[in-house]
Amino acid sequence: MAAGVLLSVAIVAGVGILIGLFLGVASNKLHVDVDEKEVAVLEALPGNNCGGCGFPGCSGLAAAIAKGEAPVGQCPVGGEAVANVIAGIMGVEASSGEKQVAFVHCQGTAEHAGVKYEYFGAMDCRVIDQTPGGGPKICEFGCLGGGTCVSVCQFDAIHVVDGVAVVDKDACKACGKCIEICPRHLIDLVPYSATQAVACMSKAKGPIVMKACQTGCIGCGICAKNCPAGAITVEDNLARIDQEKCTHCGLCAEKCPKKAILKIV
């Protein structure tokens, strides 16, 4: 009996030793070196995981920065302050790019835009855009007012006011989620310092635009003719401002007969 007990103990001990050896070998084989810079960068990032940087969350961005595959200022939420911290971690200089903010290119409020019918369905722009006629508003290019952009903004920076989405540029972090989800592609990023922007995305001809919205761009070109910096062009019946050339003189907004160029405040 004693011999049986000893045999059992020996077997258990042997199995334990084998398991220990296996775990030791597996640990060495599966060991992953931790990049201390990556850990430090991740700790410096705000942790919103908004995806505005173009990577799958803050951990994805941290890994890319640590490998030199993304600039230290890639995080739109952290801005300059976080970029400077990460630059210190990586031992490089942070580039001084201007803050960007979202802007909605539409003024089709209830006062300005004509309507075809009253809508009672789900308040989701993606749903409204698929309804008969592309929604209740006559304009096929304008803001649908369903607030889908509002629902994805983590920073309370965009709200629907009188049927049109409006961005609070001081709250905006340029994460890009509103841009991505808008079915009409009405939102893009402009420099924080921008003072004028064309608040219309209609590519329809002037007479059609005038029937649909009081403040729509009719492509007349008066703004382009009066711009001393040559910052405005008209393509597909729609005026566009090159913000890099714009000197913020305000003449385009002043001369526009339809007030389609909005002063950004």
Q: What is the pLDDT of residues 194-241, one digit of tens each?
A: 999 999 999 999 999 999 999 999 999 999 999 999 999 999 999 999
Q: Hey, what amino acid is at 70?
A: A
pLDDT, tens digit (0-9, with 9 covering 90-100), for 38-66: 899 999 998 888 888 888 889 999 998 89
How far apart CA 118 and CA 128 sit, in angstroms, is 12
CA distance 25 to 19: 10
Give 176's contacts (C-beta < 8 A, 6+ positions apart): 51, 52, 76, 102, 189
Question: In the predicted model, is pLDDT for residue 31 greater than 60?
Answer: no
CATH 3.30.70.20 corresponds to the domain 100-263 = yes
Q: Which class is 36-90 in CATH?
A: mainly alpha
Q: What whole-number distance in Å separates Cα of residue 118 and Cα of residue 135?
A: 9
Give pLDDT, residue 135.
92
pLDDT of residue 28: 59
For residue range 124-167, what is the model confidence (pLDDT) as tens digits?
999 999 998 899 999 999 999 999 999 999 999 999 999 999 99
pLDDT at residue 167, rounded to an integer: 97
Q: 3-class SS at 232?
A: strand
What radius of gyration, in Å, describes the C-alpha atoms of the chain? Answer: 28
Sketch the domain layout of the chain as residue ranges: 36-90, 100-263
Kindly provide the b/e burial profile for residues 19-57, where b requires at least 16 CB atoms within 10 angstroms of the residue's own CB. Answer: eeeeeeeeeeeeeeeeeebbebbbebbeebbbbbbebee
Question: 73-110, pLDDT tens digit by residue?
Answer: 888 888 888 888 998 999 888 776 678 999 999 999 99
Please provide the average confidence, as pLDDT, over all residues in the chain.
88
Q: Looking at residue 220, what is its pLDDT? A: 96
Is residue 193 within 8 Å of residue 139, measured between CB atoms? no
- Its pTM surpasses 0.85: no
pLDDT at 128: 95
